[in-house]
Structure 1
């Protein structure tokens, strides 16, 4: 009887959790691909880009005082209520226009986006801060928040690290309870972002 039980267990199909297929899809947050609102003529005027995402979600990028926030929701109002909409980095910053959507069996659960964080201690020949690249992993609803940061200069395989962090951490991450993880080598961009 014990042998039959062992054989039955050994022949059972792979559990659904271990048979997940992870993948990536991409969307754009370039102004030409989004609905842009609030654009003013003053330097400090804020703008909001609402950009089509995946699975009925939108990406909302709010720019104010040369700093951006990124959130995701079913619509702009829902994205604005998420914790990610309240995460500002101290130094001036901006995001790349490509969003990577991590999926499990075709369903998105996290995004990865490249940020540029201005380093006031490292200026170019014209006296402008040199931006340092960082990848941010952001969990998708329910609960949209930053999960992990990967310094793109300090880690040659930053994209791989970000995908692994998304796949392993994002779905079980508790917004407001869990602390954002630094994945890989800690570099200048992550240090600036965490000030």
Structure 2
């Protein structure tokens, strides 16, 4: 019996450490954001309140959106644009994954993908939904970027899978070196990403 308890204890401790991160939710509805630059129908740049002193940076160009999180350095603030090839838009609820000690290490945000039919028209029945997991930029390096994707329609419990990627992949993801990938099942509505990061 004692041997069994001794065996289970490390397993329980390991499971506890893996579950250490907590979730906090914020709203980045555009009415809550500050417009920095805008050409109506062409381009928009906004900053939004995030978690604590970690801001959110929203960009839109050519009916495609990009969102970055945290203390971006100037190169990433200006040059990063990570989206999808088809037209798209994001949801407004950001899930922040908060590590022990209170530091946000990753976010999860839902993207809606406007897939087209053979005629090139966007069709609601073909709309995709992808949970995008991003690394939160910290003050020491200023790099925040997309660290992974989960097809929200093809996976049974996409939010749990996204949290796993946020906790296990995003914190050590090397922006500009590592390549963000889909995790779990990927259906035909989960579009190909388009990641542009500064050199």
Contact 2:90 2:110 in 1 (8 A): yes
Q: Which has the larger radius of gyration?
A: 1
Q: Which moved more, 1:24-33 or 1:180-189?
A: 180-189
Q: Deviations over 1:152-182 (max 9, x none)?
A: 1101211111001111111111112212121
Report how many aligned residue pairs link the two structures.
177
Q: Deviations over 1:35-77 (max 9, x none)?
A: 1243444x32x11221111131111110111001111233795
Q: Is there any run of 5+ residues in structure 2 with no aligned partner, and where?
A: 1-8
Matched, 1:96 2:91: yes
Which of these residues, 65, 86, 93, is aligned with residue 62 of structure 2? Answer: 65
Give the alignment's TM-score, normalised by structure 1.
0.78
Contact 1:36 1:50 in 2 (8 A): yes
Q: Distance in 1 between matches of 2:54 and 2:32?
A: 15
Q: Distance in 1 between matches of 2:192 and 2:23?
A: 28
- Aligned residue for 2:69, secondary structure, equals strand
Aligned to 1:49: 46
Give the alignment's TM-score, normalised by structure 2.
0.76
Distance 1:79 1:73, change over 3 A: farther
- Aligned residue for 1:128, secondary structure, equals coil
Aligned to 2:122: 128
Q: Deviations over 1:116-173 (max 9, x none)?
A: 11111378xxx53332100000001142111110001101211111001111111111
Aligned to 2:4: none
Deviation at 1:89, TM superposition (A): 1.8
Distance 1:189 1:145, change over 3 A: farther
Q: Which has the higher contact order (CA 8 A, sep 6+)?
A: 2
Q: Which moved more, 1:154-163 or 1:85-94?
A: 85-94
Contact 2:83 2:194 in 1 (8 A): no
- Cα RMSD over matched residues? 2.9
Deviation at 1:183, TM superposition (A): 1.0
Distance 1:194 1:188, change over 3 A: farther
Question: 1:1-195, aligned counterparts within 5 Å?
Answer: 18=17, 21-41=20-40, 43-44=41-42, 46-74=43-71, 77=74, 80-81=77-78, 85-105=80-100, 106-121=102-117, 127-130=121-124, 131-142=127-138, 143-193=143-193
Contact 1:20 1:104 in 2 (8 A): no
